[in-house]
């Protein structure tokens, strides 16, 4: 196994009591509040956002959002709510404006805590959680509003403080105040009716910096960052009796993710995906797109726009290469380069073309599964035992078992994954993702979150990064020529012909069968001589040589014939010598003619045999797939206190006590508040009252990459909200007060401009 080096030890203060009703494995903190809470009477109202939904969007399940909602409403089936979470949760962004509309008088507008963090920008790990909408935080001058999902704001704040404390601490740190006023609202999102239920009665607290610090053994974020900057291969983690988190790595070079050095940000992304995915667990999949010329990239667990997300996406796309031999990005044929590194490599098409029983058209989905990724543990130490995702495949819409070609292709990849990883960087980096997932899943399944402030990772800054949301489909024909004369074992090399250019000429609603028809038609007009096996090429070359020889003999016969005709005309038949010479010439001509005729018969027979050669053509509609990272699909930790891996970790821990001591002295350093709301970010905002509109308040917020325009009218009159977070204006209709329902209607589309930038998805 080699020598392990303990590269991080973190210690902290005593653990506080776990919040009431905490879910197993989830981090939490306890907020000290002053003054004591008063009796609160809930005032619930309803907000219908049904008109805002784009029901035509296709989800990971291949059903549209509208179809999933219809299934739910009709009781025909209960769709996985994780499918709808990314599409329905964001509508909570209206909660802040609804609260404003319920109150009279002008006020300085509050600004979303993610205003400065559009998708793909530099941002802390918590920002994506707020953009998704399960948590909402709005910041103003000395005031903050938090919207949390559930019924009781006080218990919700205790439950979710690990998330919202980060933007609140940053807001407090950017002001000159010792405390800010915090309003906490409860809301619910009912998918079945597409309705937000909002309690207009908040709890109000005065919050200081001391209230927003960790209440468990803190994470020394700087130490973790140093750990990953040092390099090495992550091998184990430990939560010791003093509630200290220790990570162990094998010395070596710095591993990469998305071709960038691995950092603490990657650990934060995996932690967020495992601990805070809601009902949308981590995965990545290439699925049906509204434009059938493309495949949609779906992410779970907020993996989009992260290095980890790109690694799993690129590993997924390589299934196309295993099937056809074509690189999914460059579209070059890379079979030869793979075979030079991976012994015994054959593409799935090469395997399929050996099996005459396989159907010409198949729709196969490929997946990487984590069910063999696991740790071995003694309860306090967990060592990575396996970090390899295993590939598998399934037929789509067909219950028949997979063919031999698919089974052999997946088996070869799984058995030789390390060899494939030498050729394909995404496969190598997928092993790094597996190590991170193994450690974080152990933390999730253990008591670590109740002992260590793992939520400190949510304050880690993620680099600016974007992942694509769609890829172009690949249209290709794999073709081979076999001998049609009983020597079926002799074939040419499998040739892959790319026809992607045909896709862009087709309408977006063209079917896969339409694409296949185009490919078949294009292949019919193609010169196929380059597809022939070597023996047939040699036979054709011999046939061509024979043809050239026959032409030469024909010319020689023609010359002899003309010579015979000429000599016959002037032959002196009384000259026996001349007659004998003439007859010899005629004999030579006859012999040459007989040989020529025999060669013509052989030539024609060989031509007939060559003309009997047939072609075998296989086409691929699309190559989909995915990587499943759901925590419950990982292999559970193996409890084995006597494991050699555990012993190696304990030995490493004993050998690095000087390093441990140096880290212990700095482990209790205060947590950095993060880069959230500071003087550079905070925009100058001034509320204005529209002329001639008594009781109407207009406020505008402008900052780089973000805007909010809100017109709040007297209760009962339509109000208007426009924001970067939604591409059209939102019209709020109805009376905003307890017991009422307001309707959100789509207004005119927002035309993006420097003054009104809209957050778009690529």
Rounded to whole angstroms, the Cα distance separating 728 from 222 reads 42
Rounded to whole angstroms, the Cα distance separating 708 from 720 reads 11
Predicted local distance difference test score (pLDDT) of residue 16:
24
Confidence of residue 362 (pLDDT cuts 50, 70, 90): low
Q: What is the mean pLDDT of the chain?
A: 82
pLDDT tens per residue, range 602-623: 889 888 877 776 555 554 444 4
Confidence of residue 734 (pLDDT cuts 50, 70, 90): very high
456 in Cβ contact with 221 (< 8 Å): yes
β-sheet bridge partners, residue 6: 248
Confidence of residue 214 (pLDDT cuts 50, 70, 90): confident
pLDDT at position 490 over 70: no
Rounded to whole angstroms, the Cα distance separating 255 from 263 reads 9
Which helix or strand (DSSP H or E) is residue 434 part of?
helix 425-445
Predicted local distance difference test score (pLDDT) of residue 75:
72
Predicted local distance difference test score (pLDDT) of residue 355:
65
Predicted local distance difference test score (pLDDT) of residue 301:
95
Share of the chain above pLDDT 90, in %: 43
Rounded to whole angstroms, the Cα distance separating 375 from 256 reads 22
DSSP, residue by residue, 12-29:
-SPPPPPPTTPPTT----
Average the pLDDT over 4-25 and give the result: 29
pLDDT tens per residue, range 682-703: 444 444 545 446 678 888 888 7
Torsion of CA 199, 201, 206, 212, to 10 degrees: -10
Predicted local distance difference test score (pLDDT) of residue 88:
96
User: If we measure between CA atoms, which residue out of 347, 301, 332, 295 comes closest to residue 317?
Assistant: 295
pLDDT tens per residue, range 55-81: 999 998 889 999 999 988 877 666 668
Q: Give the highest mean pLDDT range of 185-189, 314-318, 724-728.
A: 185-189
Q: Give the highest mean pLDDT range of 11-20, 174-183, 522-531.
A: 174-183
- In this structure, how many other beta carbons lie within 10 angstroms of the beta carbon of residue 529? 11
Predicted local distance difference test score (pLDDT) of residue 251:
84
Share of the chain above pLDDT 70, in %: 81
3-state SS class at 643: coil
pLDDT tens per residue, range 659-675: 332 222 223 333 333 33
pLDDT tens per residue, range 319-338: 989 988 989 899 899 999 99
Average the pLDDT over 731-738 and give the result: 94
Helices then strands, counting H and E runs in the chain, come out as 19, 32
Confidence of residue 731 (pLDDT cuts 50, 70, 90): very high
Q: Taking each helix axis from N to C terminus, what angle separates 657-666 and 644-655, rounded to the nearest 10 degrees? A: 70
Predicted local distance difference test score (pLDDT) of residue 525:
65
Predicted local distance difference test score (pLDDT) of residue 735:
92
Predicted local distance difference test score (pLDDT) of residue 54:
95
Predicted local distance difference test score (pLDDT) of residue 468:
92
Q: Give the highest mean pLDDT range of 214-218, 453-457, 520-524.
A: 453-457
pLDDT at position 678 over 50: no
pLDDT at position 3 over 50: no
Burial of 286 (0-12, 13-18, 19+ CB in 10 A): buried
pLDDT at position 217 over 80: yes
Range of weakest confidence among 103-117, 130-144, 224-238, 430-444: 103-117
pLDDT at position 19 over 60: no
Alpha carbon distances (Å) from 175 to 31, 61, 458, 678: 20, 46, 22, 8
Predicted local distance difference test score (pLDDT) of residue 56:
95
pLDDT tens per residue, range 284-296: 988 889 998 888 9
Range of weakest confidence among 104-108, 238-242, 536-540: 104-108
Rounded to whole angstroms, the Cα distance separating 533 from 545 reads 18
Predicted local distance difference test score (pLDDT) of residue 256:
96
Q: Taking each helix axis from N to C terminus, what angle separates 264-275 and 425-445, rounded to the nearest 10 degrees? A: 50
Rounded to whole angstroms, the Cα distance separating 417 from 414 reads 5
Predicted local distance difference test score (pLDDT) of residue 505:
85
pLDDT at position 157 over 80: yes
pLDDT at position 441 over 60: yes
Average the pLDDT over 359-387 and give the result: 86
- Structure-model confidence comparison of residues 706 and 662, the more confident one: 706
Cβ neighbours of residue 240 closer than 8 Å, sequence gap 6 or more: 246, 380
Strands (E), 357-509: 364-369, 374-377, 381-386, 390-395, 461-462, 470-472, 476-482, 495-498
pLDDT tens per residue, range 257-273: 999 999 999 999 999 99
Range of weakest confidence among 24-28, 161-165, 219-223, 247-251: 24-28
399 in Cβ contact with 335 (< 8 Å): no
Predicted local distance difference test score (pLDDT) of residue 501:
81
Strands (E), 606-756: 614-620, 624-628, 638-639, 688-689, 697-703, 706-712, 719-723, 728-733, 741-749
Q: Give the highest mean pLDDT range of 36-45, 375-384, 423-432.
A: 423-432
């Amino acid at each position: 196994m080699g020598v392990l080096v303990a590269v991080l030890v973190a210690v902290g203060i005593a653990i506080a009591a776990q919040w009431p009703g905490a879910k197993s494995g989830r981090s939490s903190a306890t907020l000290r509040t002053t003054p004591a809470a008063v009796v609160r009477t809930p005032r619930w109202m309803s907000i219908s956002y049904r008109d805002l939904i784009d029901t035509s969007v296709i989800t990971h399940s291949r059903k549209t959002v509208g179809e999933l909602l219809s299934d739910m409403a009709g009781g025909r089936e209960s769709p996985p709510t994780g499918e709808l979470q990314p599409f329905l949760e964001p509508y909570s962004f209206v909660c802040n404006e609804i609260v404003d509309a319920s109150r009279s008088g002008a006020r300085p507008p509050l600004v979303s805590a993610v205003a400065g963090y559009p998708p793909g920008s530099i941002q802390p790990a918590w920002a994506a959680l707020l953009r998704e909408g399960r948590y909402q935080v709005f910041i103003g001058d000395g005031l903050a509003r938090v919207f949390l999902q559930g019924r009781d704001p006080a218990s919700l704040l205790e439950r979710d403080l690990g998330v919202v404390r980060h933007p609140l601490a940053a807001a407090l740190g950017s002001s000159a105040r010792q405390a800010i006023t915090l309003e906490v609202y409860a809301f619910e999102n009912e998918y079945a009716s597409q309705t937000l239920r909002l309690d207009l009665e908040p709890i109000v607290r005065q919050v200081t910096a001391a209230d927003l610090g960790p209440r468990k053994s803190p994470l020394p974020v700087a130490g973790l960052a140093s750990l990953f900057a040092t390099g090495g291969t992550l091998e184990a983690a430990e939560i010791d009796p003093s509630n200290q988190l220790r990570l162990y790595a094998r010395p070596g070079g710095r591993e990469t993710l998305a071709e960038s050095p691995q950092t603490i940000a990657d650990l934060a992304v995996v932690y967020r995906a495992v601990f805070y995915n809601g009902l949308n667990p981590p995965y990545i999949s290439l699925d049906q797109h509204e434009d059938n010329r493309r495949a949609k990239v779906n992410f779970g667990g907020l993996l989009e726009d992260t290095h980890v997300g790109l690694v799993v996406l690129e590993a997924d796309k390589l299934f196309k290469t295993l099937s056809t031999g074509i690189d999914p990005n460059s579209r070059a044929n890379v079979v030869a380069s793979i075979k030079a590194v991976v012994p015994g490599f054959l593409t799935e098409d090469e395997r399929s073309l050996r099996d005459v029983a396989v159907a010409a058209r198949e729709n196969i989905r490929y997946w990487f599964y984590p069910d063999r990724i696991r740790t071995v543990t003694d309860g306090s130490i967990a060592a990575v035992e396996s970090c390899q995702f295993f590939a598998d495949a399934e037929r789509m819409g067909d219950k028949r078992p997979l063919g031999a070609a698919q089974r052999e292709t997946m088996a070869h990849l799984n058995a030789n994954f390390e060899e494939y990883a030498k050729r394909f960087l995404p496969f190598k980096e997928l092993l790094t993702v597996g190590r991170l997932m193994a450690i974080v899943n152990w933390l999730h399944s253990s008591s670590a979150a109740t002992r260590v402030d793992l939520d400190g990772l949510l304050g880690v800054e993620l680099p600016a990064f974007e992942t694509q949301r769609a890829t172009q489909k690949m249209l290709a024909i794999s073709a081979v020529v076999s001998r049609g004369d009983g020597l079926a074992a002799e074939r040419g090399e499998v040739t892959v012909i790319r026809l992607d250019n045909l896709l862009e000429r087709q309408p977006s609603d063209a079917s896969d069968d339409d694409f296949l028809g185009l490919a078949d038609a294009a292949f019919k007009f193609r010169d196929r001589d380059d597809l022939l096996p070597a023996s047939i090429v040699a036979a054709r070359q011999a046939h061509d040589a024979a043809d050239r020889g026959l032409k030469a003999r024909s010319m020689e016969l023609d010359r002899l014939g003309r010579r015979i005709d000429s000599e016959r005309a002037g032959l002196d038949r009384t000259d026996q010598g001349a007659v004998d010479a003439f007859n010899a010439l005629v004999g030579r001509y006859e012999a040459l003619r007989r040989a020529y005729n025999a060669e013509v018969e052989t030539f024609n027979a060989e031509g007939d045999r060559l003309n009997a050669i047939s072609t075998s053509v296989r086409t691929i509609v699309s190559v989909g797939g995915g990587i499943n990272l759901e925590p419950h699909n990982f292999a559970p930790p193996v409890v084995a206190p006597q494991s050699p891996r555990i012993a190696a970790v304990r030995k490493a821990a004993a050998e690095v006590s000087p390093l441990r001591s140096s880290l212990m002295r700095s482990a209790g350093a205060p947590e950095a508040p993060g880069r959230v709301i500071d003087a550079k970010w905070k925009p100058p905002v001034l509320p204005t009252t529209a002329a001639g509109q008594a009781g109407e308040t207009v406020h505008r917020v402008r900052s780089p990459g973000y805007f909010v325009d809100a017109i709040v009218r007297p209760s009962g009159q339509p109000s208007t909200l426009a924001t970067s977070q939604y591409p059209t204006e939102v019209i709020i209709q109805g009376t905003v007060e307890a017991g009422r329902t307001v309707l959100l209607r789509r207004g005119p589309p927002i035309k993006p401009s420097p003054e009104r930038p809209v957050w778009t998805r690529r």
